Structures are given as structure tokens and as C-alpha cells.
Amino acid sequence: MKKTIVNLCRLLLGVVFILSGFVKAVDPLGTLYKMQDYLLAMHLGKWLPDMALLAFAVGLAALEFCLGIFLLFAIRRRATSRVIAVILSIMTPLTLWLALANPISDCGCFGDALVLTNWQTFWKNIILLAAAITVVKWPLEMFRFVSKSNQWIVINYSMLFILVISGWSLYDRPQFDFRPYQEGTDLRKGWTQMMEGNESPYADFFIEKADDGEDITEQVLNNEGYTFLLVAPWLEKADDSQLDLINQIYEYAKDNGYLFYGLTASGETGINRWRDITGAEYPFCLTDGTTLKTIIRSNPGLLLLKDGTVIRKWSHNRLPNEYDLTSPLDELEIGQAPDNTTTRHIVEVMLWFVLPLAILSVTDRLWMWTKWIRKQHNSNCIYKKETKMRKKIVAGNWKMNMNLQDGVALAKELNETLKAEKPNCGVVICTPFIHLASIAQFLDQNIIGLGAENCADKEKGAFTGEVSAEMVKSTGAQYVILGHSERREYYKETPEILKEKVLLAQKNDLKVIFCIGESLEEREAGKQNEVVKAELEGSVFNLSEEDFRKIVIAYEPIWAIGTGKTATAEQAEEIHAYIRSIIAEKYGQAVADDTTILYGGSCKASNAPELFAKPDIDGGLIGGASLKAADFKGIIDAFK
Ligand code: PGA
């Protein structure tokens, strides 16, 4: 249920962001005009240059589009959903202000493609914000269409695609035209309806001769045949690089008896300046500036009407030239109404963007599926002894031996030896408290971990002589031995006390090496299994699976510690296997398979290889033999 809701929210947000980014990228100038309206409404009109606003418009479109794609493809799920939530939590109050103050009638979220009222926009944002909060809360519930290793293709391709769309729209004109002057529009009909008093987008459409103010709208629209309209909202800012081509088109129109007018909102000075610069001879008419910006996103741009219907639009970068205008328009392709350009553009977008990504997703899923099948096949064929290599460790327990100088010297020697010859297992040394800070200064903890032999069962305070887990951690140590039989016996550490110690150690991010093991009498009475089980249950089986996974177990039969009497490899393996089985009972086989279980008790270089060769013995906790670098190294080498 949760998964379904999160994925529905993701779909909704993804689609909305993609659409919103796409329609903006298709018409960056439209976004620019909208932003100018906003700035004007906030009395900040003159603060930002048009170029900066245009760059922002392109960036905004790319950001929205890419965020939508990332969400849809579940790329960087956490970061993407957070960024979307932040954007929406800024936009929602802003749109509330728009709805209340109404400085602009339409927010421009979807360009001209979908015009919403300010209140509709606000409620739309409330819904999107709720969806964004949902995906932020459970980002990992979003399933992937493309695996992580192939996501870079989607990222780069989407960015490139949307920037190319913006760039092309600026160079040419919007590929998708959602405004009321798109190719194929019968202006004559629209204008007549408006004149009859019907609601119409052409209310501000008028054409007045610049010299005498005569309104010739009706005349232009009712002209049977072709009319060229050169649309330049502001002649002062119009691009004059194509002036020769424009003059040639005018000559061509004159020769063929077509009407040709320049339409602008600039006054007389602007028109005269343009005439001076370009040598324009065509007549100029005045039209509303906003209407001109709506007609074509190019300054100047060219419009071709046939019997009052818009049949072609060209930006100044793509004007028809002498090779296109070879004969009268009714004999040329450009003189005919084009086929449905919207459908063609939709097909182009599909072919260039949607199809490659769809192919990528399908290939990727197939690849993942075959990988999965291969894995299944392998795991069925191969005899599964261990599903995963758990960590092998040799840990030293110095106990109460060596003063600071000797301890530092031993640690230095070990450090140098193991740096020169990298061990094949994890190595840890657990030292008296007073050694820790000095050793931490030089020990290469990528090779040798450092730990304490104990820590207090209290967090802090008036406990004279005790050392807390936090203090141990602050020395630079990472490990702590807890539950050693010597602490249980001589210092009366009960399972309850040890439970507290384990919790405090983990709270301070120390890895616990937890010791268990039976006495000689218990072994002789055949109670070893019972004893180790009770010790685990008493102090560590209360942990969550996640915390238990951080524990290393050390099985140390008390009768073997410091006595020279080792448990045989078979004896040790038997009880190690039993310990693993009760871990499996409590936490499941996977956790049991991953838990490192060390053997301790008179372990030395001579018996280590046999012990460590057993499948359930993952290394050792070494007392006496850890006090000399050579002896300890001999045990570590058992893993070679
Ligand atoms: P030992 O001690 O190797 O000297 O027997 C092991 C231990 O107590 O951890």
C-alpha cells in the first residue's frame, strides 16, 4: 500500500515537473516575458538585465525537466525528492500571495500550454507539496527503471536534450505553439467573432497605419490571397542582421502583388531609425506590443497569411530566401498551409527522447534480469558452504601487562611489521586504558584496530576509577572487549552489568568483542552449550538485528585460558557451530552466517592454523601470545 502511494506521488510529481520544464524550454522567451511581468508587479522591473532573466528562464526549465526525469527514473531518490520538496515549499506560499493579491492573472507555470487561475495554481501546489512530502518520507520505496550504474546516461541525455530544445527554440521559434496565432489559425474568423461581442483572445489585435492612424485590421484580414506581416514588437531592439533578406522578401511580395506590412509597437522614432538602418521601404503599422510578442517569439519575425489564415511563421534566423521564393506563392510549398506540425513535433520528441530512454530502460531491465537468472543458476549449482565471507579477525588481549613504554614499543613494532607485510585478516589490539591515547597517535588503524579491554557500565559521573565508553572512544579506539571470564569471575560482572556495558559501548560507536565460555566443571558436566546460550541471552540477544550485526563473539573456554590447555579444533568447531545455530535461531541464518566468532584460550602460532581452518572459527582472541610481536604475527600468518 505504502509503495503504491509513494510511486503514484512520484509519477504525479515526475509528470508535472517534466511537462512544466518542457513547455518552458520550448518557449524560453515566454518565460522571460512572464518573469518581466512578475518583476514589474513587484516593482523590481529594472533590476535585472534581460540576458540574465533569459539565462534564468533556460536554467529553470532545465532544472524542472531534469528533476521530473530524475524522479521518474528514481535517480538520486533522496536528493531529488528533497530538492522538489524545497522548491514546492517555496512556491506554495508564493502562489498563495498571487491568489490573494492577484498582481498577475496567470502564473505561467505551464507556459501557454495550460493556463490556470491563481487559485487553481495554489491548490495544485498544495497537492504537489503533499505528494513531495510523501516521497521525501519514503524515497527508497520508489522502484528503479534503470540500474544505478546506467543512470549517468539518463542524466546526461536529459540535460543535453532539454538544453538543445531551449537553444533551438531561441534560435528558431517555439516548436510547440500554444498561442492563438499558431499556424493554421483563421484570424479572420476569430476577429469577426470578437467584433460580434464574443469572448475572444483577439481583443487587442488591431492594425493601424503608422502615418495616419487608419485602422486597416479588417482590410488586412479580409485580403483574398497572401499577406506578409513583419512582426517586430520593439524596433529599437530588433535584430537587423537579416535586413537584406527582409528587403528581398518585400520586393518579392511587391512583384507578386502580395500585401506586406511591418507591425510594431514602437513609435515614429523607432520606425524612422529602422528605416535609416535597413533601408526598409515597406509600410509600417502600429499594433499592441503584448499582442506582437504573442504572435511570434522573434524580434523581428515574419508571418504569412492566406485569406486571413496564418499559414507560415518564420523567425529572423530562418527566413525564406531566394531559393525558396522562386515563383508565386500558390505554386510553392511554403504558400500552402502546412500539415499538422504539432503531431510531427510530438513524433520527433518521441523519436529523439522517449524512444532512446525506453530502449535503455528495457535493455537495462533485461540485463538485470539475466544477471539475476545467472545468480540463481550459480547458487543452485555450487555447493553453498558459505553465502558470504564473514570477517576474519585476530585480536590481541594484553590484559594487565606492560607499562606504557613497553606497550607503545610493542604497538610500534607490530605497526611496522604489518605495514610492511599486509595481513590477510582483520587485526586488533586491545590494551590497558592508559596505552590507548598514545598508541592511537601512530597506529595505522586501516591495518590494526585499537580497542580497550573493558569499559564502565555507567555513562558518566561519580564512579571513581572507572573509564566510560565515551572516554575509550575519545582516545581514538574503535573496539572494546566485554564479558571476559576474568571480569565475570574476579570483578563479579553479571549478565545485567554486561548488558549495560554493551549498550553504552554501541551508543559510543565502539565495536564490541563479546566473550562467552564455560568453566571446567561446566564442561565436565556437559553444560557448555547451556552456558554459552545463557550468556548470549543475558547480555546481547536483547539487541536489534542491526546492532547485533556489529558484535564480534569470542568463545573462550575458561579452562583453556592461560593454562596451555587448548580445546581441540574439533571441540572448538563443535561449540562454534552450536553458537552460530542459536544466533540463526534468534536472528536468522543470514545474520548467523555474517557473525564473526573467534576462539580464545592458549591459542598460538602452532595451533592457530588448525583451529582457523574450521568453517565456524573465524579467528582468535589471543592473550599471552599477543605480548610479543613475533608470536602474534605467527598467529596472524595462519590466514596466509
Ligand atoms: P590466552 O588468553 O591466549 O593467554 O589463553 C586468551 C584470553 O584470555 O583472551
Q: Got the DSSP string for 213-276?
A: --B-HHHHHT-SSEEEEEEES-GGG---TTHHHHHHHHHHHHHHT-EEEEEES--HHHHHHHHH
Sheet with 309-315, side-by-side order of all strands? 208-209, 284-286, 259-264, 226-232, 301-306, 309-315
Sign of the dihedral defined by the CA atoms of residues 7, 11, 17, 22, in that order: positive
Residue nearest atom 2 in ligand 1 by C-alpha distance: 623
**Tell me, what's the pLDDT at 380?**
60
Contact 482, 397 (CB under 8 A): no
The Å distance, Cα 399 to ligand 1 centre, comes to 9
Q: Any catalytic annotation for residue 484?
A: yes
**Tell me, what's the pLDDT at 251?**
96
Give the three cell numbers for residue 266: 514602437
Q: Which residues contact 211 (CB under 8 A, 6 or more apart)?
A: 283
**Tell me, what's the pLDDT at 379?**
58
Atom of ligand 1 nearest to the CA of 621: 9
Q: Taking Cα atoms as reference points, which of 193, 17, 191 lies closest to residue 91?
A: 17
The pLDDT averaged over each successive group of 10 residues in the chain (640 residues) is: 94 96 93 88 80 94 96 94 96 92 78 84 96 94 89 95 95 89 92 86 91 93 96 93 95 96 94 94 94 94 96 95 93 88 83 92 92 75 56 97 97 96 96 98 96 97 97 97 97 97 97 97 95 97 96 97 88 96 95 96 95 96 97 95
The Å distance, Cα 595 to ligand 1 centre, comes to 21
The Å distance, Cα 486 to ligand 1 centre, comes to 10
- Which residues are 261's β-sheet partners? 229
Q: Taking Cα atoms as reference points, which of 262, 259, 242 lies closest to residue 321?
A: 242
Q: Amino acid identity of 92?
A: T
**How many Cα atoms are found within 13 Å in the side-chain-facing hemisphere of 374?**
6
Query: Among residues 484, 522, 535, 576, which one is catalytic?
Result: 484
Query: Among residues 141, 535, 556, 573, which one is catalytic?
Result: 556
Contact 64, 212 (CB under 8 A): no
**Tell me, what's the pLDDT at 384?**
46
* Distance of alpha carbon 191 from alpha carbon 195, whole angstroms: 6
The ligand 1 site (C-beta within 6 Å) comprises 397, 556, 561-562, 600-603, 621-625
**Tell me, what's the pLDDT at 200?**
82
Atom of ligand 1 nearest to the CA of 515: 9
Q: Taking Cα atoms as reference points, which of 317, 299, 221, 218 lies closest to residue 263?
A: 299
The Å distance, Cα 505 to ligand 1 centre, comes to 22
Give the three cell numbers for residue 24: 518552458
Query: Which of 453, 490, 513, 602 is the best mutation target for the ligand 1 pocket, counting ligand atoms within 8 Å of the beta carbon and taking the most?
Result: 602
**Tell me, what's the pLDDT at 337?**
86
Residue nearest atom 1 in ligand 1 by C-alpha distance: 623
Residue nearest atom 7 in ligand 1 by C-alpha distance: 623
Atom of ligand 1 nearest to the CA of 561: 5
What domains are there in the chain, each with its CATH number?
Answer: 2-171 (no CATH), 187-337 (3.40.30.10), 392-639 (3.20.20.70)
Residue nearest atom 9 in ligand 1 by C-alpha distance: 623
Contact 290, 37 (CB under 8 A): no
The Å distance, Cα 600 to ligand 1 centre, comes to 6
**Tell me, what's the pLDDT at 387?**
47
Contact 433, 467 (CB under 8 A): yes
Give the three cell numbers for residue 30: 515566454
Q: Taking Cα atoms as reference points, which of 290, 242, 284 lies closest to residue 264?
A: 284
Query: Which of 556, 597, 611 is the best mutation target for the ligand 1 pocket, counting ligand atoms within 8 Å of the beta carbon and taking the most?
Result: 556
**Tell me, what's the pLDDT at 44?**
81
Question: Residue 12 to residues 71, 161, 238, 250, 575: CA-CA distances in angstroms?
Answer: 10, 22, 41, 50, 56
**Tell me, what's the pLDDT at 197?**
85
The Å distance, Cα 329 to ligand 1 centre, comes to 101
